[in-house]
Amino acid sequence: MSSPHFVNFSADDARHAWATRLAEGLAALGLSLTADQQRQLLAYLDSLGKWNKVYNLTAVRDPEEMLTHHLLDSLSVIAPLRRHTQGRALRLLDVGSGGGLPGVVIAICCPEIGVDCVDTVGKKAAFIQQAAGTLGLPNLCGVHARVETLRDPYGVVISRAFASLPDFVQWSDGALAEGGVWMAMKGKHPADEIAALPVGVEVFHVEPLRVPGLDAERCIVWLRREEGGNG
């Protein structure tokens, strides 16, 4: 079977409708993206659907659900991330990235951020590499590894529906730079997981998110090492 490949999304009959929905979602989120960035997002979503038929990158397969549950859900983190970085160039690690959510979306929207997407499944890391090349994203890299083995320092370590908070911070502690932060994208407020965090890790903010077209609770749990703590 030949490998899936990126197609020109502008050739798709649904392009206009999808582009309109994306623009509406960006407006609702208060995000300003260039026309090129919006085209990259749609091309990425299109390719994700095509690769998914062969490599099972995500359980969501309906195109409409992919737009809302994946693309807009990942876009909801961009404004909070931008507020944190204030335009600074830094390195970000997306843990258990799967098909690149939210890592690829961050790389498109925040070109000043170097994004590494780590996953234990080789085909998923290969898809990220393909996306980086085809979409022209020099700041994006797919990493086939276990996060516990990574020791390069990242200013932000993010995850989306990856693991419990205690496991997330424990497994990725070696990759978090001094003074860095964890961003855990969650559904409902994970009070039990917060209560189970290891000594030396603190939650300094739980930020509610609103995803356009998605009637479900979403939040970001912001964490950091306590001063003098080892994680």
Tens-place pLDDT, residues 5-63: 444 544 455 678 889 999 999 999 999 999 999 999 999 988 888 877 666 666 555 56
- Average pLDDT of span 93-99: 92
Lowest mean pLDDT among 33-42, 50-59, 65-74, 205-214: 50-59
CA distance 175 to 165: 15
The model's pTM is 0.90
Check whether 112 has a pLDDT greater than 90.
yes
pLDDT value, residue 5: 46
Check whether 3 has a pLDDT greater than 50.
no
Q: How far is CA 217 from the centre of its chain?
A: 17
pLDDT value, residue 69: 74
pLDDT value, residue 175: 98
Q: What is the mean pLDDT of the chain?
A: 89
CA distance 13 to 170: 46
Span 116-157, pLDDT tens digits: 999 999 999 999 999 999 999 999 999 999 999 999 999 999
- Average pLDDT of span 64-87: 89
